[in-house]
Structure 1
Amino acid sequence: MLAELLAPPRSGPEPRAGRRYWRRLLPALALLACVTRLPSFTRPLWNPDEGYLAVQARMLARGGELYETVVDRKPPLVPWLYEAAFAVAGSGSLTSVRVLAVAAQLLTAALLASLARRRWGDTAGGTAGVLYLLVSVGLNPEDAQAATFGVFMLPCTAAAMWCADRHRWGAAGLAVAAAFLAKQTGGAVLVPVVWLCVSAGEVRAGGLARLGAGVVVPVLGVAAVTDPAGFLFWTVTGSGAYASFAGSEIHVLARCLTNTAILALGCAGLIPPVLRALRPARTGAADLWLWLAASAGAVALGFHFFGHYYLQLLPPLALLATAALQLLPRDRLTHALVTSACCCALFLSWGLIAPRPELDHARRLADEMASRTDPRDRVLVWGIHPETYWLADRRPASRYLTAGLLTNYSGGRDGPQVGERYAVDGTWAVFREEMTERAPALVVDDSRGKPYGPQRVPGLRRLLAAGYEEVGVVEGAVVYVRRGTG
């Protein structure tokens, strides 16, 4: 068993047979990718990350500068992708980026199929691609169906392993860089890629140097075309308080256990064959185990355990399950596929029928904002739902699109480390300057009893007291306008 799993990849099939194989498999994978992403098209938004990206893209299109007047704790690849999609199809809908997300999932499945086929044959290739797409929805729909950072990171990580499997080290480095530039934790795939390079004896042949250049050059290039200091701060060094769960241990542990249980249900067809066939050979398929372990470390990094973090585990899990199924009786493959299909249908049903109360609240709040302001006005939403700006089609008065950046509430933190003193370094000085230079026509306190409300944020209290009066309440969100304009 161990010898089978550690056997070197077989050489590829004849080109003509390969073309026939892909002509049959790709349409099936494309259809399955469309089916599994169907719920994503049924909501205007799935989570605040989509809203954040949509607002960022509009700000960039209006001349904003990334990491200066448009900021987030993420690398720039996905905001640029949104901006490009909006430039082609308009910014009033996320349909264009949802289509790109379908393409990203299809590309990931195809790369995994190619990896599995090269190692274990034609049947394994189809198995890996199909299993991946079936389990790709095995999370809370707001995590699995949203077109955000994790989804666009996945084809880059799969491409890195695909290139490394073929000893294309420069290309593997480029793919690792793309994964990092989509989401920082995508860089975790570098661990199994380096292992493949070293185990192939490519260090002296310059493989490791080509890999390193492929990773470093694109990242430095992106830093140079944005703002180098801002890029470093917002993507690496400026999130110390965020990457902590001090004071929120029970809250974070509950989220971790909940999302792990949901993922286990979504992968119910994959986990049994992996445990059954690979347990006696824990060192088998070492690169895949390293990929899974590095991805698990990336999920845990920062101690937040959001559901969409778990997407990173799915590609290596699909490949490990495919490897295990090569060693088991044929009926195990059928059982794995049927179980995965049933779980997929369950999660798709959840996505199609589950209510989204926070989206309904954001829509009503956006309607109120739009009715009280002119399209040219700037507004401030003090909350964690930046999609309200997008739904109302109003410009943010600040580059900080959520109160989390100014209070450290980001990540659902419910402990004592929330307030001005825990904000991202330097943000309050910039925020006060923004409020002085272009005071918002309307302010919405959408804290609704959360620990980042005005009662715990003196800077917000002073802003409201200095020039605003309350004019209404929308489901607990308090609306203020400048005095004399209400």
Structure 2
Amino acid sequence: MSDLDDETAVDGVDEVVNERDAGSAAARRLTDESLAERSNGGSTEQEPTGGHHPTGGESDTSFAGAAAAWGPWGAWGVAVSCTLMVLVAAASLFWMEARGADFDPQYMRTVVERTIRFGGSYYENAVHNKGPLEPFLYEIARRVGGFDGFWFMIALLSLAAACCVGAAAHVVTRLAGGPAVIGASVAAGTIVHFTLSGADYAGVLYARNITVALLCVIVVIAGTDACWTTGRRRIASAAGCGVLAGLAVQTLLTTVFAGSVVLLWVVWRRGRLETPRSRAGVWIVIGGAVGLVSAPIWYLLRGSWRDFVDGWWVYARFMSEATDRSLADQGRLGWDSLFEYYRERPEVVVFVVLWGVVTLVRWHRLDGAQRALRLMIGAWFAAAWVELILSQRYSSHYFAVLAVPTLLMLADLVGQATARLARTGATHPILAWMPALAIVLSLQIGALEGLRVGVESMWAVQSTEEFTERRESGYSGRSHTMRATLDAVSDEQDPILAWTSYPWTYIDLHRTSATRYIWKTFLLGEIYLGRTSEEFVLDGTWDRFADDLAESDPVAFVVESGNPVDESTPFADVVESDFTPVWEDGDGTLSFRNDVAEWLEPNTAGTPVDLADGDLIATDEPVRLDAGLDPVVPVVEIGLTGTGGVDASLTINRTNGSVDVDSWRSGVANWVRNVPAPPDAGVTIIVADDAVLMAIDGVVAGAVSREPVTAVWITTGADALLDPVESSAEPPGSGG
């Protein structure tokens, strides 16, 4: 079908439509203006209709393109503004790389790590009560950025989401009548706020940051005339808006309110150019349906329908029901939260009230497009509060859904206040400096710390590996020692079983969850900010738990002392029967699978080895030594040497009845562990590919990472190991 077949002209403009399809820019403007005049009923006193501005003047050019008209000072303003924006973008990436590793994002990373390790769908690898778009983006970050660059890729996606919000603010400023340079200024300030500010929704990639970004892209498409100039473009734009809204609702079901508001505005704004009036609406509905049902159909076809429904629908329903609040109670909580929110942010109240007053005062002067724009922004603001109220949770990062329509109110006010500049075509060079001024003001309002940290990190970090090194340099010596212990008997991203409520249990140890029940909450029916009950445990949970455990066959189990295993659960039976503790202290317990724990016990059946002070134990090949400790010699040191000298060591200091083992590695915190050591104690030294582990009578005494160490040696004042033997350095199978 040709473009002319797709176009349906309103009475009296058929010839104009034909000229437009031939490429006449003047005809495009005439068509829009004629239609706007007809839709306004011939009103003579109107504000500038959203989407087009008078010919001539700065408003018909882009921000950078107006430099010539502004002269030398204007060119400098453009250069400074662009330089500042590049600096903000670069600094924000390095700032958000650390900031992005928040609680829920870390959980999402564990979901993705497990999915990559075991295959299958996200819902077969975790309990996830949102749509698949969020883990999909996280998987892209993991596959592109790798282990070390993962959070940098998340920062890049966060920046992209902030730019989507900034673009929407720019479009609203223009639709309100403001010139392009003012729109660029509002966009720049918005991006600074959503990346470097202290707001908890800034600099992170939560599900709500994703949904508001999708809705903002719809605003940009609907407000950009170039997306609607031909029949094919209109179909693609309308369907695309629907798909984006469908994906937003699929990601978070409560987004349906804000999504509906934005789509209704798109239908009104763009549907008026067609007959029948609903054609754009038809394509939006089709696109929305495709976006919404794409995930259910996909999981139905791949045979994991039940896993998808259990997480996306059933568990989401649990999170609502567990609060035990009626709709009226939800409303009362929402009112209290609203009052508390604005009591802490009086400046936001000023913006919202001012926008409302200005809108009411000028309502009679607004044309249809301008009224629709204000109705959309106000309804989006109300829908955001409805979304928060129905979610029944008011975590600080949830307020991203409210921040966006509030910022659009501000953009609308700025656009109206500067509309005269667009109408008169003002070209004063000071305008070129407005984006730079907006960036500086936005930085002053709570974003300077983010800028400072981002710039410092930008100069300090030279590779993605350094991201990991900087983060892990802050880990405790216990964490480093426990991870080295696991490295000696398994590989990175191998499964471990954990009874925990924290995502970093896996991330800090570079391991993945042995089952889809990454947190114990899913096994106990604990609902965040709700009650705990077995009725909130998904049907078939314990059968799936057993199946996952059989598939993964984890080498280890970890649990925190302050969060003991519930003894009434099948989980406790598994731990009791299949695992043996090898490390217990005040913070928690590390257990190995029974066969691995047995293998760790001293073994006297092996090949005798002559070992003296200063001898080399191993270079490239794994080695295991078993012996007794000399009761006379108090100090034994196992040193690890790399290309730059001594990089790590395990130092044994024997005291009466016990030994202190100091696990030390350059650049990270060390860990001193005391373990019992009777006179006849046996010591096991395992030099694996990735770590060196020392155990006393089967109890882990210390461990250090071997990478990139090439040589391992022993030093004492005398023969410290009695009759050592060399035996198998390969542990039993280390997991699925």
Please give the TM-score of this superposition, normalised by the length of structure 2. Answer: 0.55
Residue 241 of structure 1 corresponds to which residue in structure 2? 318
Q: Which letter maps to 1:60? A: T
**Structure 1 residue 306: deviation in Å?**
2.0
Alignment CA distance shift 1:242-1:479 (3 Å)? farther
Residue 690 of structure 2 corresponds to which residue in structure 1? none
Query: What is the identity percentage for the equivalent residue pairs of Structure 1 and Structure 2?
Result: 17
5+ long unaligned stretches in structure 2: 1-43, 68-77, 229-236, 364-370, 420-433, 457-470, 598-736
Alignment CA distance shift 1:324-1:359 (3 Å)? farther
Query: 8 Å contact 1:76–1:182 — kept in the other structure?
Result: yes
SS at match of 1:392: coil
Query: 8 Å contact 1:109–1:128 — kept in the other structure?
Result: yes
**Structure 1 residue 484: deviation in Å?**
4.9
Query: 8 Å contact 1:362–1:387 — kept in the other structure?
Result: no
Mapped to 2, the partners of 1:364 and 1:5 lie a distance apart of: 70
Alignment of 1:162-177 (within 5 A): 162-165=220-223, 168-177=237-246
Alignment CA distance shift 1:130-1:475 (3 Å)? farther
Q: Which letter maps to 1:293? A: A
SS at match of 2:497: strand
Q: Which letter maps to 2:284? A: L
Pair 1:307 & 2:365 matched: no
Deviations 1:66-111 (A, max 9, x none): 1453232221223222222332231233212212221221232123
Larger relative strand fraction: 2
Residue 89 of structure 1 corresponds to which residue in structure 2? 145
Alignment CA distance shift 1:474-1:241 (3 Å)? farther
Mapped to 1, the partners of 2:217 and 2:359 lie a distance apart of: 26
Mapped to 1, the partners of 2:142 and 2:499 lie a distance apart of: 26
Alignment CA distance shift 1:110-1:258 (3 Å)? same
SS at match of 1:11: coil
Pair 1:348 & 2:450 matched: yes
SS at match of 1:454: coil
Residue 111 of structure 1 corresponds to which residue in structure 2? 168
5+ long unaligned stretches in structure 1: none
Mapped to 2, the partners of 1:350 and 1:409 lie a distance apart of: 40
**Structure 1 residue 423: deviation in Å?**
1.9
Q: Pick from 5, 11, 30: which aligns with 2:52?
A: 11
Residue 217 of structure 2 corresponds to which residue in structure 1? 159
Residue 135 of structure 2 corresponds to which residue in structure 1? 79
Alignment CA distance shift 1:474-1:103 (3 Å)? farther
**Structure 1 residue 307: deviation in Å?**
2.0
Pair 1:47 & 2:102 matched: yes
Mapped to 1, the partners of 2:349 and 2:472 lie a distance apart of: 33
Mapped to 2, the partners of 1:310 and 1:270 lie a distance apart of: 13
Mapped to 1, the partners of 2:122 and 2:580 lie a distance apart of: 33
**Structure 1 residue 134: deviation in Å?**
4.1
Residue 469 of structure 1 corresponds to which residue in structure 2? 580
Query: 8 Å contact 2:193–2:447 — kept in the other structure?
Result: no
Residue 275 of structure 1 corresponds to which residue in structure 2? 353
SS at match of 2:391: coil
Alignment CA distance shift 1:27-1:189 (3 Å)? farther
Mapped to 1, the partners of 2:174 and 2:517 lie a distance apart of: 47
Residue 204 of structure 2 corresponds to which residue in structure 1? 146
Larger Rg: 2
Q: Pick from 513, 517, 541: which aligns with 1:400?
A: 517
Mapped to 2, the partners of 1:199 and 1:294 lie a distance apart of: 18
Alignment of 1:137-286 (within 5 A): 143-165=201-223, 168-197=237-266, 199-200=268-269, 204-227=277-300, 229=305, 230-244=307-321, 246=323, 269-279=347-357, 281=359, 285-286=374-375
Deviations 1:337-391 (A, max 9, x none): 88754332367389889xxx99967995475144134117420222222233233
Residue 324 of structure 1 corresponds to which residue in structure 2? 413
Moved more, 360-369 or 31-40: 360-369
Query: 8 Å contact 2:183–2:415 — kept in the other structure?
Result: no
Alignment of 1:444-459 (within 5 A): 444-446=558-560, 448-449=562-563, 453-455=564-566, 458-459=569-570
Moved more, 185-194 or 92-101: 185-194
Query: 8 Å contact 1:379–1:397 — kept in the other structure?
Result: yes
Alignment CA distance shift 1:336-1:378 (3 Å)? closer
Q: Which letter maps to 2:297? A: A
Query: 8 Å contact 1:58–1:91 — kept in the other structure?
Result: no
Alignment CA distance shift 1:435-1:146 (3 Å)? same
Alignment CA distance shift 1:439-1:306 (3 Å)? same
Residue 114 of structure 2 corresponds to which residue in structure 1? 59
Larger relative helix fraction: 1
Please give the TM-score of this superposition, normalised by the length of structure 1. Answer: 0.79
Query: 8 Å contact 1:269–1:337 — kept in the other structure?
Result: no
**Structure 1 residue 47: deviation in Å?**
1.7
SS at match of 1:57: helix
Mapped to 1, the partners of 2:500 and 2:291 lie a distance apart of: 35
Q: Pick from 430, 435, 441: which aligns with 2:555?
A: 441
Pair 1:485 & 2:592 matched: no
SS at match of 2:446: helix
Q: Which letter maps to 2:491? A: P
